[in-house]
Structure 1
Amino acid sequence: MNKTQYTLLVLFSLLFVTLLNAQHRSYIIKNGIAIGGGLTQFDISTDNFKTNAGKGWIISTSATGDLPNKWYNVSYGLQISENNIEISGYESETDLVVDKQVEYNLFAVQLAFLFHAKVVPNLLTIDAGPMLQYNGELDMQSNNEENLFIYLNNGNSLIANELEEVSQINANGAIGATLGLGAFKFRAQYIYGFTNILNKLNGNDSEFGPNSENTDFKGNQSMINFIVLITF
């Protein structure tokens, strides 16, 4: 074998090995889209007053990047929900024996970026990630209840319609699981609000109720979602 042939053989061998290694290390990112909807359970965790979690609905859409050679996938998506919550109210400040549940509604839009750990590939993932939320005010469901009193746990009180002005931009964390084969999947998700959703009440310049001074409002939202998804 002459020198020229030997050189060509070496170059060909190096090129072949390089191509094999490049193919071994590369992977195809498979993108997918999921849409769906389901039910929610919403509450506000606070020491200021008594609450009861309420049910609502949610619509979800997301785009997923499937990484075959990784132990996780990633997705970013949009969730729109309408949630309900009940807060204990009373007809007067002095009569605290029989409470009446004041019903509020909260409309929210959530932008999420989630990591999906592949517990069982193509079957079960554990999902977690940050979420940015924009929500409306706490809208009262009945005008007949707007003059009820909300009794605060520090002995103060406010009028029911004064609770409507909550903080409208909030940062959340989400954790959950997705189960399913093929196009249909079921997702259970818990969302916790890291920011104080009642913080706007602390900066309100108006006089709250007849006796709500020196009240430090603090509350973190708690939301559970059950969603059925169709993937493409």
Structure 2
Amino acid sequence: MKQNKHFILLVAFCIGFVTILHAQHRRYAIKNGFGIYGGITQYDILTDNFETKPGNGWMVGASATVDLPHKWYNISYTIQLAENEVGIATRPVALPSQSQFLDYKIFTAQIALLMHVKLIKSFLTIDIGPMLQYNGELKLQDDQYENFIVANYDNLLAKDISDVNKFNIDGTVGVSAGFSHFRVKAQYIYGFTNMLGKLDKDDNLDLTGNDKKIKGNQSIFAFTAMITF
């Protein structure tokens, strides 16, 4: 008899538990979504050491979103790849008074955890969150200019500034708008870490002419369109 009572209690508990879960599920229809996106970027390095000029690039990415109808925000996990360009002022050795911006290219891969604050439900949101970034070298696009002198220095060559930090921590803020299967996004990404710190620690670089600590933070504007499934 005691065993039957225990069995009845167990069945009642299970039924009650499942009923509660079912009721919550019907009340809060949490949805998971997946999206792919692509667009253009404008990239710059904010530094007092070099004279820079923002350059254009491209970005592609994928996003997994958790839609929380009963909350004032949604959550997404994203991974995005980008190829960016930036101009850095240099001068020919033979013509020290003639300045020329050389184009550098950098490839970045970023993963992010974003909070999407709902302004008009999920149709218009403010997007904010941290990013972890891996990037390649700051690669000079045309090797024929590798012996140009970097502006603000006496002997620092254009080819000498490619070895930047490979891992960086970023933050992003932006806005996205759209409907269930299509969204447009505007995003600003700022690098919190000193991506030029590795250059400052390189004792082989000739930094004559500028005794400032080498420091630079990346700045990216991205404009993308996303299709969700």
Q: TM-score if structure 2 supplies the norm length?
A: 0.86
- Counterpart of 2:156 in 1: which secondary structure? strand
Q: Distance in 1 between matches of 2:21 and 2:213?
A: 62
Q: Distance in 1 between matches of 2:96 and 2:203?
A: 28
Which AA in structure 1 matches 2:228?
T
- Counterpart of 2:29 in 1: which secondary structure? coil
1:77 aligns to what?
78
Does the 8 Å CA contact 2:112/2:132 hold for their aligned counterparts? yes
Provide, for residues 122-164 of structure 1, a one-character-per-residue CA deviation record: whole Å limited to 9, x for no partner: 3101000000000000000001110001122xx6551101110
Q: TM-score if structure 1 supplies the norm length?
A: 0.85
Q: Distance in 2 between matches of 1:131 and 1:137?
A: 19
Q: Summarize the alignment of residues 1-232 of structure 1 with structure 2, pairs less than 5 Å apart.
A: 23=23, 27-92=28-93, 95-96=96-97, 98-152=98-152, 156-208=154-206, 211=208, 214-232=211-229
% identical aligned pairs: 42
- How many residue pairs match? The answer is 214
Which AA in structure 1 matches 2:132?
L
Q: Distance in 2 between matches of 1:93 and 1:218?
A: 28
**How far apart are residue 22 of structure 1 and its match?**
8.2
Provide, for residues 58-111 of structure 1, a one-character-per-residue CA deviation record: whole Å limited to 9, x for no partner: 001010000110000000110000000001110138723x21111100000000
**How far apart are residue 27 of structure 1 and its match?**
2.2
Q: Distance in 2 between matches of 1:114 and 1:157?
A: 43
Provide, for residues 168-223 of structure 1, a one-character-per-residue CA deviation record: whole Å limited to 9, x for no partner: 100000000111113111000000000001000011131336x2674410000000
In structure 2, the gaps of 5 or more residues are: 1-11
Q: Distance in 1 between matches of 2:187 and 2:101?
A: 27
Does the 8 Å CA contact 1:158/1:212 hold for their aligned counterparts? no
- Counterpart of 1:158 in 2: which secondary structure? coil
Q: 1:83 to 1:21 in 2, by over 3 A?
A: closer
Q: Distance in 2 between matches of 1:142 and 1:56?
A: 17
- Counterpart of 2:159 in 1: which secondary structure? helix
Q: 1:78 to 1:62 in 2, by over 3 A?
A: same
